[in-house]
Amino acid sequence: AQKITQTQPGMFVQEKEAVTLDCTYDTSDQSYGLFWYKQPSSGEMIFLIYQGSYDEQNATEGRYSLNFQKARKSANLVISASQLGDSAMYFCAILSGGYNKLIFGAGTRLAVHP
């Protein structure tokens, strides 16, 4: 079975600083994908970044980067130069099992302070 663990229920960061949100995963599949989503208070799920299990380079998308450490089964999200609008819930998710199901972690609530 696949599992995502996010151990930080809440994090806060000062505006313009960088923050790392932790995510570890467990899967017996050789091929899988890791996603990070942002969910603001409005409830919509916003896709941030994707990392494939065979990708050797860490994924980056603007201010978002994924620190992928395959041996440690870790896929931490790094947000650089935090903005007030980054305050939201952040979910890590794994897509495996034949790419059929997306399994989410418990989420981390990020608060960006001015």
Residues that bind another protein (CB under 8 A): 33, 35, 37, 42-45, 47, 50, 52, 91, 95, 99-107
Cβ closest to another protein, residue 85 vs residue 114 = 85
From the CB of 16, what's the least distance to another protein, in Å?
28
Is residue 36 within 8 A of residue 58, CB to CB? The reply is no
Which one, of 59, 76, 65, lies nearest residue 22 by Cα?
A: 76
Cβ closest to another protein, residue 30 vs residue 42 = 42
Structure tokens at 14: 């000062």
Distance in Å from the first CA to the final CA of the chain: 41
From the CB of 92, what's the least distance to another protein, in Å?
10
